[in-house]
Structure 1
């Protein structure tokens, strides 16, 4: 992409700018009256003590309209240490005394140096630990700010040795350095997980973190966030241009800048700070953490009809002993039986003669239902004229008509003429809300917002620009250009309308909205996402892991991939097993596909199902049941995500492990191991064909860390932190290690409910889930085990959280366990918060590592699932 780049320069102090030694909450420059570009204003402030906000606006460059930022605190006051107006420079120390926040774990004295003698030059310096200063980040001299046709271009010098992470959903590998990325959403069906860009999300949040080097004090980690919905481009040192050499560039297509700098100790601190600015991840309902079934092949069937196939799903799960928590209804239910086209929010009564009855039957079996909905209309849609007449469609000012384009309508590669619904208009939102309400009335438990990238191929299309909430800088009333508003505000509005309609219908329940696309603001309303329509291959299986980890850094922490691959050929049995084994370690676990060839030589069905390969069904079953046994752990991890922005799946350098130089080596960094809850479980997946063993590096939390790692599959597997060891990964299981001091709550290895009565037992349509004691397959969550991993000596404390898994404002129980290692193990547990009363009461079954013959002092030994457990009362 080529841009016209016009350098911005000739700035001077704004009227009323603070003098040296003065205290202020902002500092501003204005372009000189003699400058080529007049009336541009540059302002900086500190919304948090470790976060700097810069804005740059001009006559035709307004602040980007958005509501992606939720932080409401007043800017922090700062004092200018040096202001030399003649040489055009200012120095601002930060954090200011008394304002060092818990968010900034680095606790370093920094200073902001600003020079505007030529172009604006902003740099951040900090103490280097040896009495000097080191530059953390800074603008590219004489080329920092420039204008493009409608937007702004930014250049910085690049830390070539740093890792660059984040940007949401970006193709692997995890380190983004030396590459360039489009910041936009695209329907990237059957993408390459290492090559394709863009994918589905719009996340202009880039982290730069130094590699740990032995004997050198690391610089702070920092992140840059652009609060805009405009399309953009991030180049992270791919472009080389003398005399500047390598640098990094952000090019925003439309509008002025709102740019945030965040500083802290490692990736964990800046991610946590960003969550304060844009909002922490939503709390996901417990049932959405189990096995989520799906399959277009079932919902598209005319003979036998789809309802017949889907109604058999609970029986098939019971026959094959596969627990299942929810099923997705693909858009086949909306297909017009005469034309074969999808008309959103309509019903194919031939395929689904009793839709509500089908849903009720699934509910009785404990399976929640979420339908696929899409924010566009073919021009033959029965409500197209009504929405058009009420100004609910985007407008093409050149043709003086609704903006029309080609949209996906029926089978693979098929499209029809239609329009995206303008969700910035009251009519568009009302159409969507009415449709969502009709599905809620049919018994739906949540909404699956799909195909919502708003692929409008002209920035000049006009949107209604009427929003139900305040923007940071709302555009003028009336129509606004899509380029300035950004397509993704519509994706956010789709999520908000789905969320609000669900909440209005069932205010006591946690709304569940799944979204394929999204901007930063969309995740205030959508609690789940996935990495879109991937393609079946070993390469794409491997690539799904770095995508997952960058999503976690970018606050999309309830995500996963379509297990087995959405498009392309059916996976081989081995590939399918390995994808399931990886998928059960991710926050969202969904087997979903559309395999159009029903004559596949393997004889398998036209979709991915757990039982499609009888020879490996026992292995698939074991992996899914492992997921259910560990559901209390995943539920607690989602609380950690919601409370503290901790990703469920984290890269090996997360938190305290950032100090380990070995996690930055190419072999480890470009491998596929990841934390499932940092510092507790280490996932060691086998992602290459025929890979029966894996070399794995065991991260150290500090140079003196002597912790052990325990192989969950071997009684002899105990290894020292900081070493590389070989782990068995036979087809029967993935590699899984626990770090010394972990405490992992577990439950039954099948679907359970947390209440005998109430919203966890009764679905919104009034159907009671049938319990196993009454002939069903769903049990009660009345058993709690705890896996602990003591070393030879030492004391350890961990806490986990439980709730009913469904309430919008849930009561919670926080359980703290402390255990001490010696010749015997002592274990004490207590409720530090006990507002929620779990069905398992106070009896905690404690399991020691495989091969550990010590006993838990004072606890009764019982046999459970072929192992010895020690029953401890929780106080």
Structure 2
């Protein structure tokens, strides 16, 4: 990549106008003699707290994409011009108490943008361009430079290596098949997320300036350097280098990370609503699915029996690509190995009867020996290599570890490519599967000059190849997005009443319109990578990848020790996505023929593993409600300690806390304190404060069941049997049975797409009806209120039950509950089992008491103001 450092000079307003005027767009244009000849710079306000800047010119068109879904009319604003300076007051961010901000522009030498905020009567710069280096050209793209706010914390960027704070490091914005990666060192990983948050550290007694995020709406490869580069006379600064095309740059401002994440969700779309069954234990059968003797189908068919034998509930299983392996040992997507799987549809039906959904692995490439290769090539469904004057043929993973073959990625921006993918997806749907696992979809093609069909109506077409676009300008992961879209749309067409489930390993920002789940790829088994997985999880949540998790136990490398496996499971059950997945030998098969992690692989710790998984099912109504919060309000299921109100606590920005492993499960509700070091039998944790005056109690949910004040550091017991977990005073935590349940006696939650009814196994504690609801409350002497959302967990357009519960602590505890919405009727009717904290000897006034698993519970009726309108 060639960089030409030239000042962006010689600009003037497109329409000079009066010194002060109102407009919906401010435009600067360069003349033919300027350094950047014939470039245009525009500025608009799509939202009160969002500024959109574009810079385009010859051979630098606006980035082609559909990542921004916000439909808007630019807001009017006043521009005050004085020579080569313009001042634009920000539109108000609220009716009362809005922060006063200004956007200032200067174009005397180079274009300089800065954002200022009035704090205690003085104007403070929030963000600003680097003088004389604000813009530069690369060979095909643009480079941007900003001042580095050295005291700020930098977050986001999606799936990036630990620790949580990204300051002082640099990251590629592209994806790679990063198998066996190091969670603290490897970059890039699998996803493309050019969204960077800069948030000031809170200081006691001082107001905190606004947080801002910069989002570059492009699919081109890029590099973010966040103060790693030092160059006098500027010192440390931030740089975004976009390989191809002009800029579309968004500045999002708000009071804290929560507000800018919510604003970004308005721009690119909120997280999709994940189905309830994808919140339980997700098994992965890579080792099982690769077996020839005994055949894979027999091993997978026996999986429900193993779950019953060991008392492990399971909601879904992933079929690895072993079902596509041909006689030569290579994988041929959308083909079937009849020896391993003589009755694939029957296998799926048997798993469905046990309440286990099925998601097969599919890959968007094919070996040159694939039976469909020639037809897809003839239809122009592959990428074109201009130098070779033929299809792009490269190395793709085709068999065992490190075994590759010659093949081609399928061009999903082409109609023939999408048609082939849709037909393959439909063939699997016809066999009864429930969702699609889009894997190996990073599209890591090594030449920007390769040509693709181009799905966007944009002037990127090359004269030599009409209808084609250079891959560097279009962006490789547009194909990843199209893979997700076709999987999603084909599922929806086949079963329009059901919520489509698409799991994706790679993603650009646009892919999350179609794929509702993801994971952090092929990690390596180690204590270090276990710890690093937490930080990756939290930055994913800030970046709207809120249904994510890691491969529990590690995908590659050695088997986890029993202790490491336990700790990984205990952390995994707190994440939005909980999947045990691996490619390695089990203790019973050191040859490696059976390669997967299983909950029962270590009899010595099986009771601990079982308890952790059952805890996940007990809290599944809570997680289901958190996913509604993610979908509606962009609230991450797992949040860093400075999320929301807790951003005002200076302690969450200390190195000890910021780069630790503790996190919220639902901000301000449950505090997760995992033990992620070998032999760690106690943990010291900080309990965040929501304000300087916050003296809220945290309740330890494990023995010795202590109570602790916000703002303190406490030592918690973390024996192998459990991690640390605390509940904040006043929260409302809905719970259910500690095994897999269905929400309907009949309907899509009970009957799978192939017409199979789930067989209940209540006595075995594996699958049953969701006809019991508990609620944990945590009062001292105050008044409290909480709510949660329930639905059938599967419908494409679900009805909801919104339960609002209030309680007050005194000599007794007073509890009342009502349905605020009631177009879904839960199987548990209107009776709640209310639990007080362990050790609280009070009673719930006026409520009948019962015993549940040795604990006292009080029966409270939920009032319904009307009749049920949907069952």
Shorter-chain TM-score range: over 0.9
CA distance in 2, matches of 1:473, 1:846: 62
CA distance in 2, matches of 1:596, 1:614: 16
Q: Give the equivalent residue in structure 1 for 2:396.
A: 407
Find the residue that maps to 1:786 and give its secondary structure.
strand
Whether the 8 Å CA contact 1:162–1:209 is kept in 2: the answer is yes
Q: Give the equivalent residue in structure 1 for 2:869.
A: none
Find the residue that maps to 1:565 and give its secondary structure.
coil
Whether the 8 Å CA contact 1:512–1:526 is kept in 2: the answer is yes
Q: Give the equivalent residue in structure 1 for 2:9.
A: 10
Offset of 1:23 from its aligned partner?
1.2
| Residue 847 of structure 1 pairs with residue 835 of structure 2 | yes
Find the residue that maps to 1:504 and give its secondary structure.
helix
Q: 1:431 aligns with which of 375, 397, 420?
A: 420
Deviations 1:101-154 (A, max 9, x none): 59xx9831100000000110000001112x110000000011101110000000
Offset of 1:635 from its aligned partner?
0.1
CA separation of 1:716 and 1:344: change in aligned 2, threshold 3 A:
closer
Q: Give the equivalent residue in structure 2 for 1:45.
A: 44
| Residue 759 of structure 1 pairs with residue 748 of structure 2 | yes
CA separation of 1:784 and 1:854: change in aligned 2, threshold 3 A:
same
Offset of 1:670 from its aligned partner?
1.1
Q: Give the equivalent residue in structure 2 for 1:178.
A: 168
Find the residue that maps to 2:552 and give its secondary structure.
coil
Alignment of 1:74-153 (within 5 A): 74-80=73-79, 82-85=80-83, 88-95=84-91, 99-101=92-94, 107-129=98-120, 131-153=121-143
Q: Give the equivalent residue in structure 2 for 1:330.
A: 320
CA distance in 1, matches of 2:782, 2:166: 40
Alignment of 1:710-725 (within 5 A): 710-714=699-703, 716-725=705-714
CA distance in 1, matches of 2:367, 2:16: 55
Q: Give the equivalent residue in structure 2 for 1:154.
A: 144
Whether the 8 Å CA contact 1:11–1:120 is kept in 2: the answer is no
Offset of 1:3 from its aligned partner?
4.1
| Residue 32 of structure 1 pairs with residue 35 of structure 2 | no
CA separation of 1:114 and 1:535: change in aligned 2, threshold 3 A:
same
Offset of 1:35 from its aligned partner?
1.1
CA separation of 1:698 and 1:398: change in aligned 2, threshold 3 A:
same
Offset of 1:33 from its aligned partner?
2.2
Whether the 8 Å CA contact 1:17–1:28 is kept in 2: the answer is no
CA distance in 2, matches of 1:506, 1:17: 57
Q: Give the equivalent residue in structure 1 for 2:289.
A: 299
Deviations 1:437-461 (A, max 9, x none): 0000000100000000001000000
CA distance in 2, matches of 1:515, 1:199: 13
Whether the 8 Å CA contact 1:424–1:490 is kept in 2: the answer is yes
Q: Which moved more, 1:433-442 or 1:814-823?
A: 814-823
Offset of 1:600 from its aligned partner?
6.4
CA separation of 1:288 and 1:9: change in aligned 2, threshold 3 A:
same
Whether the 8 Å CA contact 2:586–2:596 is kept in 1: the answer is no
Q: 1:249 aligns with which of 231, 239, 258?
A: 239
CA separation of 1:387 and 1:213: change in aligned 2, threshold 3 A:
same
| Residue 795 of structure 1 pairs with residue 783 of structure 2 | yes
Offset of 1:16 from its aligned partner?
2.5
Whether the 8 Å CA contact 2:694–2:710 is kept in 1: the answer is yes
Whether the 8 Å CA contact 1:5–1:153 is kept in 2: the answer is no
CA separation of 1:597 and 1:707: change in aligned 2, threshold 3 A:
closer
Q: Give the equivalent residue in structure 2 for 1:266.
A: 256
Q: Give the equivalent residue in structure 1 for 2:482.
A: 493
Find the residue that maps to 1:874 and give its secondary structure.
strand
Alignment of 1:213-228 (within 5 A): 213-228=203-218
Q: Give the equivalent residue in structure 2 for 1:861.
A: 849
CA distance in 2, matches of 1:565, 1:662: 32
Q: 2:563 aligns with which of 574, 580, 597?
A: 574
Whether the 8 Å CA contact 1:18–1:24 is kept in 2: the answer is no
Q: Which moved more, 1:598-607 or 1:176-185?
A: 598-607
Whether the 8 Å CA contact 2:505–2:519 is kept in 1: the answer is yes
| Residue 239 of structure 1 pairs with residue 229 of structure 2 | yes
CA distance in 2, matches of 1:598, 1:416: 31
| Residue 314 of structure 1 pairs with residue 301 of structure 2 | no
Find the residue that maps to 1:277 and give its secondary structure.
helix
Deviations 1:345-368 (A, max 9, x none): 000000000000000000000000
Find the residue that maps to 1:388 and give its secondary structure.
helix
Q: Give the equivalent residue in structure 2 for 1:838.
A: 826
| Residue 692 of structure 1 pairs with residue 690 of structure 2 | no
Q: Give the equivalent residue in structure 2 for 1:371.
A: 360
Q: Which moved more, 1:708-717 or 1:171-180?
A: 708-717
Find the residue that maps to 2:418 and give its secondary structure.
helix
Q: Give the equivalent residue in structure 2 for 1:166.
A: 156
Offset of 1:597 from its aligned partner?
7.4
| Residue 55 of structure 1 pairs with residue 54 of structure 2 | yes
Structure 2 residue runs of 5 or longer lacking an equivalent are 864-871
CA distance in 2, matches of 1:251, 1:401: 31
| Residue 781 of structure 1 pairs with residue 777 of structure 2 | no
Deviations 1:417-472 (A, max 9, x none): 0000000000000000000000000001000000000010000000011x3xx668
Q: Give the equivalent residue in structure 1 for 2:65.
A: 66
Find the residue that maps to 1:495 and give its secondary structure.
helix
Deviations 1:828-868 (A, max 9, x none): 11110111100001001100001000111111111012110
CA separation of 1:146 and 1:174: change in aligned 2, threshold 3 A:
same
Whether the 8 Å CA contact 1:106–1:265 is kept in 2: the answer is no
Offset of 1:602 from its aligned partner?
11
CA distance in 2, matches of 1:775, 1:863: 21
Q: 1:873 aligns with which of 844, 855, 861?
A: 861
CA distance in 2, matches of 1:520, 1:805: 25
Offset of 1:473 from its aligned partner?
7.4
Deviations 1:595-646 (A, max 9, x none): 0577766999631000000000000000000000000000000000000000
Alignment of 1:349-748 (within 5 A): 349-465=338-454, 467=455, 478-596=467-585, 606-714=595-703, 716-748=705-737
Q: Give the equivalent residue in structure 1 for 2:793.
A: 805
TM-score norm. by structure 1 comes to 0.97
Offset of 1:819 from its aligned partner?
0.6
Offset of 1:534 from its aligned partner?
0.2
CA separation of 1:106 and 1:237: change in aligned 2, threshold 3 A:
farther
Whether the 8 Å CA contact 1:10–1:32 is kept in 2: the answer is no
Q: Give the equivalent residue in structure 1 for 2:758.
A: 769
Deviations 1:65-124 (A, max 9, x none): 0000000011111011x2013xx11000012xxx4259xx98311000000001100000
Find the residue that maps to 2:3 and give its secondary structure.
coil
CA distance in 2, matches of 1:776, 1:642: 31
| Residue 820 of structure 1 pairs with residue 808 of structure 2 | yes
Deviations 1:796-839 (A, max 9, x none): 11111000000001000111111111111111111101111000
RMSD: 1.6
Q: Give the equivalent residue in structure 1 for 2:19.
A: 20
Offset of 1:8 from its aligned partner?
3.6
Find the residue that maps to 2:155 and give its secondary structure.
strand
CA separation of 1:600 and 1:301: change in aligned 2, threshold 3 A:
closer
CA distance in 1, matches of 2:564, 2:328: 37
CA distance in 2, matches of 1:582, 1:183: 28
Find the residue that maps to 2:445 and give its secondary structure.
coil
